[in-house]
Copies of this chain bind each other. A is one copy, B any other.
């Protein structure tokens, strides 16, 4: 637990992602100051209350009122950033918006403060170059919603100080997130590149008519995804051959490499998208999407509760 009487956390941008971050830091005991020009105090507290009440039903938080009391909505970036030890920026995914907001954060940054951006696609080098304190800016990319999915990808720009990366990692560890550190920038970082590789193969098999989208989904939801919810792919293969990962690589590496030969190179085709859409909408009408998202978040909370 942090000492809430000392430095606070600033959240800039309070959409879905920024709201989730507010919960992450307030849950860990931090005082949180939130600024979003388009969000009122009432609407933010309302969304926070709903999310925290749901978490309390799964015993993922204890005292909703105390957590809520740590969150303050302020009227400017200056008011949020001044005196903050860490700033989590979660504004729109537009490079010029990120650049302007980063410049404003930069102006009010305390001498020791660091800044993480929630961007999933923009490298920090594309919007922090002009900042005076650019060595203290990094990407800190969460998955939505950050209060239910703990991973955070920390991706430094070429000018990000190594100490900024180390302190962001420590902070994320301390607030119960699962930080991952990249040594340098790459499009998609790690998480979306892994998702993209799996999706490409899934689309390739679907577009070639090997199976329905529902059946392809089941190979993950009733197969690979069970282990992957508590072990990554390297640990999985390390345990799947008598002699560990090296033994596994010698046995199965050539087989996996061979699959690439049969992989279709055109994916995400219009025809494939149309067929997948028809199948998904038959299984789940558009009008039911929102209810299914709520179901997903309930499942996530039940899963996290089961891990305790």
Contacts and interface: CB of A to CB of B under 8 A. Distances in A.
Interface of A: 121, 143-144, 148-151, 153, 178, 180-184, 186-188, 190-202, 205-206, 209-211, 213-235, 237-240, 243-246, 249-250, 253-260, 262-263, 267-268, 273-274, 276-277, 280-281, 284, 286, 289, 292-293, 296, 299-300, 302-306
Given A190-B205, A199-B256, A222 B182 contact: no
A286 B244 contact: yes
Contacts of A245: 273, 276-277, 280
A149 B222 contact: yes
Q: Is the interface of A mostly helix, strand, loop or mixed?
A: helix
16 contacts: A192-B259, A194-B202, A194-B224, A197-B201, A199-B256, A206-B234, A217-B231, A217-B234, A220-B231, A221-B230, A225-B231, A228-B229, A231-B296, A246-B274, A257-B267, A305-B306
Given A186-B210, A281-B244, A225 B234 contact: no
Given A198-B194, A201-B193, A222-B178, A262 B187 contact: yes
A143 to B, nearest CB: 5
Name the residue among A194, A220, A249, A306 with the largest chain B CB count within 10 angstroms.
Answer: A220
Given A180-B215, A200-B260, A226 B300 contact: yes
Given A183-B210, A193-B205, 17 more contacts: A149-B222, A149-B227, A180-B219, A187-B255, A188-B256, A194-B220, A196-B259, A197-B259, A199-B256, A200-B260, A213-B232, A220-B231, A226-B303, A234-B276, A239-B292, A244-B289, A253-B273
A301 to B, nearest CB: 11
Contacts of A255: 121, 187-188, 192, 196
Given A218-B151, A231-B296, A234-B217, A197 B197 contact: yes
Contact of A246 (B213, B218, B273): B273
B249 A284 contact: no
Contact of A243 (B194, B195, B225, B286): B286
Contact of A233 (B193, B198, B227, B259): B198
A181 to B, nearest CB: 6
A268 B239 contact: no
Contacts of A215: 180-182, 190
